[in-house]
Structure 1
Amino acid sequence: MNSDATTGRQGGNAYRTYVLVVLILVYIFNFIDRQILGILAPSIKAELNLTDSDLGWLGGWAFALFYTAMGVPIAMLADRFSRTWIITVSLAVWSGFTALCGAATSFWQLFLCRLGVGVGEAGGVAPAYSLIADYFPPKERARALAAYSFGIPIGMSLGILFGGLIAHQIGWRWAFIICGLAGLALAPLLKLTVKEPARGGLDAAQAKPQAASLKDVLSTLSGKLSFWLLAFGASFSSVMGYGLAFWLPSFFQRSHDMSLVDRSLFFSAIVFIGGLIGVWLGGSLGDRLGAGNKANYARVPATAFLISLPFFFGAVNTGSPVLMFFLFVVPQALALMWLGPTLSAVQHLVPANMRATASAIFLFINNLIGIGFGTWFLGKLSDILRAGYGDESLRYSILYCLSFYALAAILFFLASRRLDRDWHRE
Structure 2
Amino acid sequence: MSDATAGGPGGAAASEDGYPAPAVAWAMVAVLFIAYIFSFIDRMIIGLLVEPLKADLDLTDTQVSLLQGFAFAIFYTVMGLPLGRLIDRSTRLPIVAAGVALWSVMTASCGLAVHYWQLFLARMGVGVGEATLSPAAYSIISDSFPQKRLGLAMGVYGLGSAVGAGLAFLIGAVVIEMVANAGSISLPLFGELSAWQATFIIVGMPGLLIAGLFIILPEPPRHGVAAGTVREAVPMREVMSFIRKRAGAVLGLCFAVGMVNFAVFAAVSWFPVFLIRVHGMDLASAGHLAGGALIIGGLIGLVGGGWATDRFGGGTAAGRLAFCGFAGLAGTVFAVIFPLAGSPALSAIAFVVFFSAAAVPIGAAASALQQLTPNRMRATLSAIYLFVVNLIGLGAGPTATALVGDTFFPFDDGVRYAIAIVSPIGFAIATGLFFLSAGYARREVNV
Per the shorter chain, which TM-score range? over 0.9
Deviation of the 1:5 alpha carbon: 5.1
Deviation of the 1:9 alpha carbon: 2.3
Q: Is residue 143 of structure 2 the alignment partner of residue 134 of structure 1?
A: yes
Q: TM-score, normalised by structure 2?
A: 0.90
Q: Is residue 53 of structure 2 the alignment partner of residue 53 of structure 1?
A: no
Residue 297 of structure 2 corresponds to which residue in structure 1? 274
Deviation of the 1:313 alpha carbon: 1.9
Residue 188 of structure 2 corresponds to which residue in structure 1? none
Query: Is 1:301–1:412's contact at 8 Å kept on the other side of the alignment?
Result: yes
What do residues 364-406 of structure 1 show as CA deviations (whole Å, max 9, x unaligned)?
Answer: 000001000111111122111234xx22221111111121100
Residue 121 of structure 1 corresponds to which residue in structure 2? 130
Query: Is 1:62–1:112's contact at 8 Å kept on the other side of the alignment?
Result: yes
Structure 1 residues 72, 290: closer, same or farther in 2, change over 3 A? farther
What do residues 168-188 of structure 1 show as CA deviations (whole Å, max 9, x unaligned)?
Answer: 323111110011111112111
List gaps (5 residues or longer) in structure 1: none
What do residues 19-48 of structure 1 show as CA deviations (whole Å, max 9, x unaligned)?
Answer: 110110011111010101101111111111
Distance in 1 (CA, whole Å) between partners of 2:269 and 2:336 is 18
Structure 1 residues 168, 292: closer, same or farther in 2, change over 3 A? closer
Deviation of the 1:311 alpha carbon: 2.4
Q: Is residue 416 of structure 2 the alignment partner of residue 392 of structure 1?
A: no
Query: Is 1:7–1:196's contact at 8 Å kept on the other side of the alignment?
Result: no
Aligned CA RMSD, in angstroms, stands at 1.9
Deviation of the 1:290 alpha carbon: 3.4
Q: TM-score, normalised by structure 1?
A: 0.94
Of 155-164 and 413-422, the range deviating more from structure 2: 413-422
Of 308-317 and 352-361, the range deviating more from structure 2: 308-317
Distance in 2 (CA, whole Å) between partners of 1:333 and 1:91 is 27
Residue 6 of structure 1 corresponds to which residue in structure 2? 11
Residue 214 of structure 2 corresponds to which residue in structure 1? 190
Deviation of the 1:82 alpha carbon: 1.1
Q: Is residue 306 of structure 2 the alignment partner of residue 297 of structure 1?
A: no
Distance in 1 (CA, whole Å) between partners of 2:219 and 2:196 is 38
Residue 431 of structure 2 corresponds to which residue in structure 1? 409
> Residue 270 of structure 2 is aligned with which of 243, 247, 254?
247
Query: Is 1:271–1:332's contact at 8 Å kept on the other side of the alignment?
Result: yes
Q: Is residue 384 of structure 2 the alignment partner of residue 351 of structure 1?
A: no
Residue 241 of structure 2 corresponds to which residue in structure 1? 219
* Alignment-mate amino acid for residue 237 of structure 2: K
Q: Is residue 172 of structure 2 the alignment partner of residue 163 of structure 1?
A: yes
Q: Percent identity?
A: 37
What do residues 106-155 of structure 1 show as CA deviations (whole Å, max 9, x unaligned)?
Answer: 11110000000001111111111100000111111111101111101111
Residue 184 of structure 2 corresponds to which residue in structure 1? none
Q: Is residue 27 of structure 2 the alignment partner of residue 18 of structure 1?
A: yes
Query: Is 1:64–1:372's contact at 8 Å kept on the other side of the alignment?
Result: yes
Residue 100 of structure 1 corresponds to which residue in structure 2? 109
List gaps (5 residues or longer) in structure 2: 1-5, 180-194
Q: How does 1:315-354 map to 2 (within 5 A)?
A: 315-354=338-377
Distance in 1 (CA, whole Å) between partners of 2:228 and 2:426 is 38
What do residues 34-77 of structure 1 show as CA deviations (whole Å, max 9, x unaligned)?
Answer: 10110111111111110011011100110000000000100110
Q: Is residue 54 of structure 2 the alignment partner of residue 40 of structure 1?
A: no
SS of residue paired to 1:200: coil
Query: Is 1:199–1:207's contact at 8 Å kept on the other side of the alignment?
Result: no
Structure 1 residues 163, 424: closer, same or farther in 2, change over 3 A? farther
Deviation of the 1:214 alpha carbon: 2.4
Query: Is 2:111–2:198's contact at 8 Å kept on the other side of the alignment?
Result: yes
Distance in 2 (CA, whole Å) between partners of 1:281 and 1:95 is 30
Deviation of the 1:243 alpha carbon: 2.2
Distance in 2 (CA, whole Å) between partners of 1:141 and 1:293 is 11
SS of residue paired to 2:409: helix
Structure 1 residues 2, 42: closer, same or farther in 2, change over 3 A? same
What do residues 322-350 of structure 1 show as CA deviations (whole Å, max 9, x unaligned)?
Answer: 22221211121111111222111100112
Query: Number of matched residues?
Result: 420
